[in-house]
């Protein structure tokens, strides 16, 4: 169920005011064409929540009128539904845009912190090693640990609230994925 607060809807629906008690919970509200628009879900005396299809909107009780069948509003169901759907789509688009922006900002912070020589914390905030190498072509990040190394992907990293680089795995998970460094292998870590 989606809640939409629409000042435009409220003004477009303006009708003869009636007492707040006329919008009883469960009452069917009729449009200016005499057809049902929706039902009242709640009424606090100031606003009545009107349910129209899968959408709801808190509307001032002053926009409701009264007709032969009960509460009325000065619009048809299709008009009210279209406005609620448009408001819902606009809210979803704004939320998706904000989420994408936040994800991009977090990725930029992660990428700035993900450099060779960077200390790495686990998801449970324990020190687990250092970034030994980054292979962008293979999307592979090798973390050198006390007892070996583990290879992760860039997407397996984030930064914490303090900007510290962390793997998105617990110490136990990283321990399970750590392999010994092959004998004779030289791993050089350059602090950039």
DSSP H helix total and E strand total for the chain? 3, 13
Q: Considering just the CA atoms, what is the radius of gyration of the chain in Å?
A: 29
Same domain for 157 and 79: no
Identify the CATH number of the domain in which residue 29 sits: 2.30.30
pTM of the model: 0.60
Count of structural domains within the chain: 2
CA atoms of 148 and 139, how far apart (whole Å):
20
Q: Which residues of 79-113 are buried (b: 16+ CB within 10 A; e: fewer)?
A: bbbebbbebbeeeeeeeeeeeeeeeeeeeeebeeb
**pLDDT averages per 10-residue partition of the chain, 192 residues:** 46 44 80 94 92 93 90 94 95 97 95 95 95 91 93 95 94 91 62 45
What is the residue range of 49's domain?
A: 2-103
């Amino acid at each position: 169920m989606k809640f939409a607060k629409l000042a435009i809807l409220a003004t477009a629906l303006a009708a003869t005011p009636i007492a707040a008690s006329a919008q009883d919970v469960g009452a069917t509200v009729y449009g200016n064409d005499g057809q049902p628009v929706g039902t009242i879900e709640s009424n606090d005396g100031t606003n009545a929540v009107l349910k129209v299809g899968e959408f709801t909107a808190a509307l001032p009780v002053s926009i409701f009128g009264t007709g032969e069948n009960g509460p009325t509003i000065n619009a048809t169901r299709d008009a009210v539904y279209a406005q609620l759907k448009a408001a819902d789509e606009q809210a979803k688009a704004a939320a998706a845009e904000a989420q994408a922006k936040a994800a991009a900002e977090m990725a930029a912070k992660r990428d700035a912190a993900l450099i060779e020589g960077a200390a790495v914390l686990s998801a449970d905030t324990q020190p687990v090693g250092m970034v030994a190498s980054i292979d962008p072509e293979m999307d592979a990040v090798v973390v050198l640990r006390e007892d070996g190394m583990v290879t992760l992907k860039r997407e397996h990293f984030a930064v914490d609230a303090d900007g510290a680089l962390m793997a998105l795995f617990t110490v136990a998970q990283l321990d399970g994925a750590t392999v010994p460094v092959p004998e004779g292998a030289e791993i050089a870590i350059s602090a950039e």
